[in-house]
Amino acid sequence: MPPDREEIGSRLKRLAQALTDRGLEAALIRYPLNIFYFTGTFADGHLLVTQSGEAFLLVYRTFERARAEALIEEVRPFRSLKALPDFLKDLGIKHLALEEDRLPVAVYRGYERLLRDFALSDLSPILRQLRARKSAYEISCLRRAAEMLAESIEAVLPSFRPGLTELEMAGMLEAELRKRGHPAYTRTYAFHQELAYGHLLTGEAAAVPSYVTTGQGGRGVVGFPQGPSEKILREGEPLLIDYAGWHEGYLVDQSRLFYFGELPAALHDTFARIKQLMESLEETLRPGITAEEVYHRARETAEKLGLSPCFMAHGEERVPFVGHGVGLEIDEWPPLAPRVKVPLEEGMVVALEPKCHLPGQGVIGLEDTFLITREGAARLTLSPREIRRLEP
């Protein structure tokens, strides 16, 4: 079920309160995903929310669909951007906030010229913080996304065998995900981070570095140099499945390891230490601990377990995080990274992904998505955590 009016009303109320707390008269939201979050529909247009809680969806396109889907009362066709200043003045607005993190420089400068009679501030931190804490409805979507992902993996594993390429196996898994409603798209917040469903990688190809800031790289294909490639799966090498489950726009992130034949004992040992590290980090996920404290504890524990040389690294390029928020995007606020002093709060959802990069052998790691509760971390992802031997 999509969100209802009570859910949307609660989000708008929280936004109005945040605007009031910061002395802002209104938010002008342009990014379609944020419009969806506050209205229940995607639209090319503007969502204006005042500190008194009024909400106006001004639609460029498509108006009829937006009017039918939106869970707010004021949905209007709005074809001329030049009319925006007068609309704001009629409401008595003088100071508003825009999504600086979502607007290209040229577009933002256009708004500066158009709205030169208004004081402008940055809305981005407010929206990141609001979306970081999940409602009961959002948590139910995340739980269903986790179920969908676990079901899809279990359904496809019997079809895997040595001799198949990464791309062939990815296609098999993605077919199962599509059957269960996955739209074949994983939204990201980060700049220039393009992802499909996720990464299915085998052996040494998993440790091939890529330009994206992810827990692994992959050879990919020409024009998309990351993720699955034409590499063939062999016995005795790790098969990493790092995929996103999806339900009604919400994503969970999970990584699991499999193999055929016999895996070298050293890789089993590395996995055992990674699992120990994951369990240790899981215990730290409580309200009040900061994102950077989680990261530093991960680094310290990796050092104690003898994992530092390979921990979260693409060769010489170490990935500067150990996890991230999850929700409508796969990499939401907050990143579990250095210098991020944001405390975790009850209702936040984060993914932990401790991994080791072993050149010539692959990536050994785990990833799970957790809900932060008053008592600690509640794991949402469902697949068994053990490294699993498969039979062809």
Question: Which residues in 368-391 are b (16+ Cβ under 10 Å) and which e?
Answer: bbbbbeeeebeebbbbebebeeee
pTM: 0.97
Q: What amino acid is encoded at 200 in this protein?
A: L
How far is Cα 341 from Cα 193, in angstroms, rounded to an integer?
A: 24
289-317, pLDDT tens digit by residue?
999 999 999 999 999 999 999 999 877 78
Residue 119: strand pairing partners: 95
pLDDT of residue 329: 97
Phi-psi region of 77 (alpha: psi -120 to 50; beta: other; left: phi over 0): beta
Q: Return the structure tokens found at 226.
A: 């990351």
pLDDT of 316 reads 77
Domain edges within the chain: 5-131, 133-390
- CATH, range 133-390: 3.90.230.10
Give the E-state strand segments of 25-154 in sequence order. Answer: 26-29, 44-50, 55-61, 74-77, 95-98, 119-122
* Encoded tokens for 272: 């055992």
Tell me yes or no: is domain 5-131 CATH 3.40.350.10.
Answer: yes
Residues contacting residue 191 through CB under 8 Å, at least 6 positions apart: none
Residues of the chain below pLDDT 70: none
Instruction: Give residue for tokens 């969100």.
Output: 3
First-last CA distance in the chain:
39
